[in-house]
Structure formats: structure tokens, C-alpha cells
């Protein structure tokens, strides 16, 4: 089993994340052109229920598996690794079967009383197999991440993305003649196909390494005997599940309350569905593009901090947190500048829907808080403070939902009221996480780093606007790429000059780093 360092593991997941995010924009761009914003809305409306059910099934179990296996690996206890994996798999499989049955039985009632558009029914039914498939996959990913081997997770995510793109677009196009609701269901069927492919990769990798696991167990045959595995697994995972459940229910209530608030503002059901589809299916994915990095940092951070905490190495904890937050800040900042300045051409080129550009322009500036939030939350969970993360998330969710009801139901705000509520939630939760980390371990980012990155963002923005305004080439999309490339080069040079990043940071990046040794 190949174990990677924290940075190397994060970079492996980052490379896969970037590939997956870029590939993921193929259906994001093509799907609205096939089924329109309203069809995307039908597709997106079913996702909050999927998120809630998956939180119940998996919740904090993969994180607990990764954390506990990392601790067992640091002690060379392979037998305990086996017991953890088997117990987690049995628990997740049982919950997956139960929740799938609940969804199937309750679907008619949910369509009638909860969801604002009954046309979601077919998409809702098609997505039910995802519960068991994703649940099983999550345990395998937690297992490999606990061993600090990020390659299986990276490969499975890439395979899943490629299969999902091909299948979603194909099924949506083929089923469109039957109606918009059938086309949305076809897109969801593609997601099922993709997840099956990702699980197949994880199964292949696990059983390929099984002989090595058996050999290791021969050296520690009785180390996990009589240990209350299930009790400790639940003890580790339930607080994290609670925190994620708050987020999942918040997402579900957000979709319901947004649609109902827009109806209260006098907006027709079809238009409200289209607006929600544009927000969640087009704008939010753009904002989350840099989270390919923050996700990889968060996943790598949990086992790394857990191992450091188990060994009482506070210096390493501070070092890993500083690396994670600095990378998240430096890499996310250019995206914020580009999305804020060029919202209209981006929406026109990608989606052919310029009317949604103000949404992107409004939400883009808070992106930097999203990128910092994932490493902070991962740190709280790795340091056995998931209850604090739960409280912070709950406070943010309550504030968001109250603001949605107040603002989105006002005809003067409409969908922008929901956007304002989401922005407030993002900033509030990130600030609360930062305060919590400071209180527990005394860690905080240096203010001077934020000042330097802020100054670089302003200069980068000026360079981007200058290049775009000159329009050196006839095609808008080429000018946009040129402006982005020129401004990013200016930004990176400033980062080096201000000593935010140095040669040692670049040396750690796979492929690129060999040129700086």
C-alpha cells in the first residue's frame, strides 16, 4: 500500500479534482443547451433529498474510518484496520438499504407535499440507487484515505466523472422527445452510471491489495480482539454526521423555501424552477471550481492532523494548517477576481444565458470564504471538535433560512434575496470556524498574508480589465482566456515577489516541481 506525504496526497487529489472540475463543466455547459434552465431546475431539485439521505447513510463514517485507520496505521495495528473497515461497511450497507426503501415508499408523499414541482418525480425515482452505491464507495475511500493513499480516490473520481458526462448527456438527449421531466431523469441516470464506474475502480484496487493486508494481519492476529468497534465508530462519526445533517437539511430547506418564497413574490412555478436551476446548476458550480484544491486539502488534512494529534506533535498541526489555509487563500483569490470582473462574458460563453451574470457577480466575492472553510472544518473534525463545527454550521443555517424567507419573498429581491442569504451564511460559518480553531489550538492566519493577497488581487484585476478592454483578438472567448492568463501571470509573480509562495512550494507540485529543483 503506497502512503503519501500530506502535500503529495493533497496534490494527487488536487490533480484529479482539477481534471474532474474541468470535465464536470462539459455537462454544466451542454445540459442547459439540451434541456434548458427549467430542465436543469428539475434535475437540481431532487439533489437536496439525495444529500440528506446520504448524510444519514454515510455522514461522518468515512471521516471516522480515515481518522481511526490513520491512528491504527501509525501504531502498525493492521488487525484493527480490518475490523474498522468491516464494521463500517456493514453499517453503511444496512443504512443504505433502509434509506432506499424509505425514499421509494415516501416518494408520492414528497412529490405532493414537499417539492414545489411535481415533474421532479421521475428524476427522484431514478436517483434512488445512488444511496447504496455512494455509501459503499465512501467507506472504500475512507479506508484508502486513512492509509494516506489518495490514488484510488483520485482515479475513481475521474472515472466516475467521465462516465457520468457521457451517460448524462446521451440519456438526456435521447429522452428529451418524451418531455422535459424524462430528459432530467435521463441526466440523473447518467449520474448513476458514473457512480457504478467509480465504485468498480475502488473494488478493483481494494481486492488487488488484499493479499498484502492478509500478510500484515498475520503479524498482528489478536490486537483488535474484543474491541468495541461499532461503539467507537459511532462515537467518532455521529457528531460529524450531526454537523453534516445540519448542512444537508439546510440545503433541502433552502431549495423548498426558495421556491415557495419566489412563489410568494408572485413568480410563476416554471420561472422559479428555472431561476433555482440557474443558481444551483450554473452559478454555484462556477463558484465551487477552486474547491478541487480545498477538498483535496481537507481530505489529506484529516488523517495527517489525526496522526500528529495522536503523537502530540502540536508544531506539525500548526504547520499543516498553515500550509492548507495559505494554499486555499492563494489559489482561490484569482478565481474571485475573474468571476467578479468577467461575470457577463463567462455566462454568455459558457451557458449562453447573460441574464444570470448578476448572480455570479454578487456571489463571487464571498468565494474566498468558501475556499478557507473546508480546511478549517476538517481541522475541527480531526482535532476531535466536531461538536463545535456542528454548532457553527447550525447557526449559519438558521440565519440563512430566516433571510431566505424574509428576502426572497420580497418582489424587489426575488432570487437575489436567496443569494444574499447564502452569502451571509458562507461568511458567518467560516468566521465562526476560524474563531473556534484559534480558541482551541491558538492558530490563526497572519493578517499580513491577507493584505498581500488582497493587494495582488487588485493589481491582477487591473491587468485583467486592461487586457480585456483592448480586445486584441476578434473572438470574445479568446480575449477572455488571454486576459485571464495575463492577469494570473501577474498575480503569481506578485506572490513570489511578496514571498507568499517560494521555490520550495513550487517544488512540491507534481510534474511542475522538477523544473525548480
Do the beta carbons of residue 196 and residue 136 sit within 8 Å? no
Between CA 480 and CA 403 the distance in angstroms is 35
Q: How many domains does the chain have?
A: 2
Residue 297 phi/psi, 5-degree rounding, is: -65, -45
Instruction: Determine the pLDDT at residue 302.
Output: 61
8, 153 contact by CB (below 8 A): no
- Residue 226 has what pLDDT? 42
Q: What is d(CA 192, CA 451) in angstroms, rounded to the nearest whole number?
A: 45
- Phi and psi at 472, nearest 5°, equal -70, -20
Domain stops at, among 430, 445, 460: 445
Question: Please, how many CA atoms are within 13 Å of residue 124, restricted to the half-sphere of its CB?
Answer: 24
Cα 355 to the center of its chain, rounded Å: 26
Q: 466 and 333: one domain?
A: no
CA distances (Å), origin 138, targets 205, 219, 269 = 14, 28, 36
pLDDT of residue 278: 85
pLDDT of residue 152: 84
Shared domain check, 496 and 415: no
Residues with Cβ within 8 Å of 392's Cβ and at least 6 positions away in sequence, in order, are 429, 432, 433, 436
- Give the CA distances from residue 230 to residues 83, 88, 227, 240, 306, in Å, rounded to whole numbers and listed in that order: 9, 8, 9, 16, 19
Q: Quote the domain boundaries for residue 498.
A: 447-517
| Whether residue 332 sits in one domain with residue 239 | yes
CB atoms within 10 A of CB 382: 26
* Dist. CA 43–CA 54, nearest whole Å: 17
Among the listed residues 285, 378, 244, the one whose alpha carbon sits nearest the alpha carbon of residue 323: 378
Rounded CA-CA distance 224/218 in Å is 13
From CA 395, how far away is CA 391, in angstroms rounded? 6
Q: 438: which 3 cell numbers?
A: 484559534
Shared domain check, 468 and 373 = no
Per-residue model confidence as pLDDT tens for the chain (517 residues) = 455 555 555 566 666 666 766 777 777 778 888 888 788 888 888 888 888 888 888 777 777 787 777 777 766 667 777 788 888 888 889 989 999 998 899 888 888 777 767 788 899 999 999 999 999 998 888 888 777 777 888 888 889 989 999 999 999 999 999 988 999 999 999 999 999 999 999 999 888 776 555 555 455 444 444 456 677 777 767 766 776 777 778 888 888 888 888 888 888 877 887 888 888 888 888 888 877 666 666 666 666 676 676 677 777 777 778 777 888 888 889 999 999 999 999 999 888 888 889 999 999 999 999 988 888 887 887 777 877 888 898 899 999 999 999 999 998 888 899 999 999 999 999 999 999 988 888 777 778 888 999 999 999 999 999 998 887 777 888 899 999 999 999 998 998 888 887 655 555 444 444 455 5
Which pLDDT value is given to residue 449? 83
Instruction: Quote the cell numbers at residue 288.
Output: 465551487
Q: What is the pTM of this model?
A: 0.72
187 shares a domain with 256: yes
338 and 439 fall within a common domain: yes
Whether 174 and 263 share a structural domain: yes
Same domain, 319 and 460: no
User: Is 82 a member of any domain?
Assistant: yes
Q: Of 445, 467, 482, which residue sits at a domain end? A: 445
For residue 120, give every residue at least 6 positions away whose Cβ sits within 8 Å of its Cβ, in sequence order, or none.
42, 45, 46, 111, 181, 184
Residue 233, pLDDT score: 72
DSSP 310-355: HTT-HHHHHHHHHHHHHHHHHHHHHHHHHHHHTHHHHHHHHHS-GG
Please indicate, yes or no, if residue 67 is contained in any of the structural domains: yes
Contact 126, 189 (CB under 8 A): yes
Could you tell me if 420 and 476 lie in one domain?
A: no
What does the pLDDT look like over 185-206, one tens digit per residue?
999 999 999 999 999 999 998 8
Clarify whether residues 173 and 37 are in a common domain. yes
Residue 225's pLDDT is 46
Q: Is residue 233 domain-shared with residue 197, that is, in the same domain?
A: yes
Q: Which of 59, 168, 45 is CA-nearest to residue 110?
A: 45
Whether 165 and 219 map to the same domain: the answer is yes
Supply the pLDDT for residue 386.
73
Amino acid at each position: 500500500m503506497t502512503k503519501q506525504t500530506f502535500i503529495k496526497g493533497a496534490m494527487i487529489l488536487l490533480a484529479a479534482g482539477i481534471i474532474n472540475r474541468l470535465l464536470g463543466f462539459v455537462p454544466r455547459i451542454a445540459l442547459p443547451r439540451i434541456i434548458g434552465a427549467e430542465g436543469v431546475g428539475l434535475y437540481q431539485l431532487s439533489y437536496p433529498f439525495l444529500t440528506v439521505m446520504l448524510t444519514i447513510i454515510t455522514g461522518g463514517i468515512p471521516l471516522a474510518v480515515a481518522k481511526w485507520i490513520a491512528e491504527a496505521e501509525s501504531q502498525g495495528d493492521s488487525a484493527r484496520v480490518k475490523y474498522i473497515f468491516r464494521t463500517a461497511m456493514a453499517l453503511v450497507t444496512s443504512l443504505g438499504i433502509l434509506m432506499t426503501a424509505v425514499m421509494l415508499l415516501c416518494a408520492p408523499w414528497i412529490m405532493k407535499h414537499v417539492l414545489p414541482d411535481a415533474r421532479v418525480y421521475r428524476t427522484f425515482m431514478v436517483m434512488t440507487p445512488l444511496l447504496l452505491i455512494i455509501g459503499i464507495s465512501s467507506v472504500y475511500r475512507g479506508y484508502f484515505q486513512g492509509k494516506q493513499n489518495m490514488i484510488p480516490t483520485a482515479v475513481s473520481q475521474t472515472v466516475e466523472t467521465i462516465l457520468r458526462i457521457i451517460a448524462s448527456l446521451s440519456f438526456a438527449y435521447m429522452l428529451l422527445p418524451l418531455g422535459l421531466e424524462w430528459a432530467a431523469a435521463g441526466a440523473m441516470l447518467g449520474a448513476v452510471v458514473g457512480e457504478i464506474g467509480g465504485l468498480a475502480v475502488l473494488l478493483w484496487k481494494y481486492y488487488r491489495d488484499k493479499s498484502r493486508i492478509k500478510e500484515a494481519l498475520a503479524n498482528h492476529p489478536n490486537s483488535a480482539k474484543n474491541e468495541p468497534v461499532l461503539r467507537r465508530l459511532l462515537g467518532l462519526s455521529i457528531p460529524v454526521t450531526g454537523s453534516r445533517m445540519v448542512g444537508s437539511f439546510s440545503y433541502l430547506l433552502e431549495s423548498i423555501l426558495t421556491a415557495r418564497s419566489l412563489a410568494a413574490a408572485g413568480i410563476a412555478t416554471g420561472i422559479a424552477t428555472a431561476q433555482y436551476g440557474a443558481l444551483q446548476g450554473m452559478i454555484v458550480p462556477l463558484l465551487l471550481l477552486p474547491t478541487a484544491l480545498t477538498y483535496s486539502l481537507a481530505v489529506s488534512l484529516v488523517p495527517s492532523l489525526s496522526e500528529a494529534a495522536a503523537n502530540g506533535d502540536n508544531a506539525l498541526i500548526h504547520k499543516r494548517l498553515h500550509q492548507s489555509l495559505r494554499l486555499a487563500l492563494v489559489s482561490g483569490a484569482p478565481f474571485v477576481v475573474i468571476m467578479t470582473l468577467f461575470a457577463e462574458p463567462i455566462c454568455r460563453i459558457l451557458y449562453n444565458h447573460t441574464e444570470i451574470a448578476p448572480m455570479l457577480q454578487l456571489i463571487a466575492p464571498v468565494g474566498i470564504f468558501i475556499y478557507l472553510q473546508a480546511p478549517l472544518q476538517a481541522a475541527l473534525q480531526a482535532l476531535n471538535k466536531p461538536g463545535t463545527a456542528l454548532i457553527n454550521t447550525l447557526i449559519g443555517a438558521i440565519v440563512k433560512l430566516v433571510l431566505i424567507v424574509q428576502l426572497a419573498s420580497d418582489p424587489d429581491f426575488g432570487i437575489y434575496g436567496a443569494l444574499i442569504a447564502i452569502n451571509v451564511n458562507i461568511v458567518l460559518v467560516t468566521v465562526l470556524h476560524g474563531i473556534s480553531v484559534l480558541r482551541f489550538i491558538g492558530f490563526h492566519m497572519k493578517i499580513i498574508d491577507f493584505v498581500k493577497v488582497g493587494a495582488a488581487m487588485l493589481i491582477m484585476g487591473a491587468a485583467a480589465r486592461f487586457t480585456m478592454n483592448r480586445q486584441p483578438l476578434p473572438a470574445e472567448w479568446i480575449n477572455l482566456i488571454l486576459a485571464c492568463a495575463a492577469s494570473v501571470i501577474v498575480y503569481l509573480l506578485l506572490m513570489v515577489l511578496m514571498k507568499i509562495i517560494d521555490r520550495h512550494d513550487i517544488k512540491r507540485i507534481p510534474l511542475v516541481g522538477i523544473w525548480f529543483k
